[in-house]
Amino acid sequence: MKTFRLDNALPVDTSIPDPSLVVLIGAAGSGKSTWASTWPATQVLELDRFRALVSDDAGCQESTDDAVFALQAVLEARLARRKMTVVDATNCEQTVRANLIATARRHGVPTVALVVPTPASVCVERQEGRPANRRVPEPVVLAQHAAMVDAWSGLPGEGFDHVVVAENLYRLQPLLQRLSDARRAELGWDGGEGLGDLLLVRRYFGPEILPMWRWRDASVLAGGDRVAEIRLGADHIVLAQRNDVDGAGDVGFEVLVGCAADDECEGQAWAPVYNVTDLLRALTGELMNDPDVRCTVHGGADDVDQEADDHDLQADDPEGRADLEAQYADAVSA
């Protein structure tokens, strides 16, 4: 296993001009995407993302050629406009790097090799927590790491204008600045309207739900609590914002579902929802049988079970007497 050594073979460089083409170089699992996230998402061309775009599977290796073709087209368009661009891929093969350098030169954009020299053992260990379609076999990871180590000293000779090692960079501030700006916009601290009463909705269910969300403030369906609706075409889900969950003063959401005790029940049955998966379960009817569902007529699951038990006892006792001790006393005195 080869070890990366930051010695005096290359001058220490932290220069990343804007615009430039930043080529991340490192084995799978080295943390390249974390470094890439310090730039705005529009500036990052991730090979896995292009695999997903052409095949619906980010881990489909058979789609790599098509993914590279699509990435190259976007790269050409961005560099022609002299836009800052980051290529998030292993880029451990010299032929791949040569093509990227040639593309940047055609458009007069400087190139930066950003080396991410995470130890090979760490890269291998990180594969264990990845989905099966994104998990890279250990021999492949080790080969990529070895190729990165071998390439390190020769990167200036390949034509890179700047060779930067991730350990020498200060990129936390731009990442936090971008996240802070987005958060301030959500809260309206930037002078805009912000998300307002949709802030909690986004936190629970994600930003994709917001365009379909409508408050129904005139509704009395939830006993005074605020009612909302998610609607898309013929599909719709009704929710209530509860402001005193479990009597503890917490805020949360419940969704209107069918009553599990009686198909013809005219009451309202509500189930707590905590995320978009719960919304899916509500729409498909799966959530109707959740033990936390409470009906305004039949109560919760415990109440329904008790009612069923009482009914069974009555059926077993023709005279309507469920008290066995009383039955025994009557028999003795007869």
- Given a contact cutoff of 8 angstroms between Cβ atoms, the answer to whether 111 and 98 are in contact is no
Contacts with 270 (C-beta within 8 Å, 6 or more apart), sequence order: 222, 240, 254, 255, 256, 257, 293, 294, 295, 296
129 token code pair: 């927590």
List, in sequence order, the alpha helices (H) in 92-225. 94-106, 120-126, 138-152, 155-158, 172-187, 199-205
94-106 and 64-80 helices, crossing angle to 10°: 30
pTM score, whole prediction: 0.78
User: Would you call the peptide bond into 291 cis, given omega within 30 degrees of 0 as the criterion?
Assistant: no
Q: Among candidates 39, 34, 35, which has minimal Cα distance to 20?
A: 39
**Would you write out the chain's pLDDT as a tens digit for each of its 334 residues?**
677 766 645 666 888 999 999 999 999 999 999 999 999 999 999 999 999 999 999 989 899 999 999 999 999 999 999 999 999 999 999 999 999 999 999 999 999 999 999 999 999 999 998 988 889 999 999 999 999 999 999 999 999 999 999 999 999 999 999 999 999 999 999 999 999 999 999 999 999 999 999 999 999 999 899 999 999 999 999 999 998 887 777 899 999 998 988 888 988 899 999 999 999 999 999 999 899 999 999 988 666 444 444 444 344 444 443 443 454 344 334 4
Rounded to 5 degrees, φ, ψ at 46 are -100, 125
Contacts with 78 (C-beta within 8 Å, 6 or more apart), sequence order: 45, 85
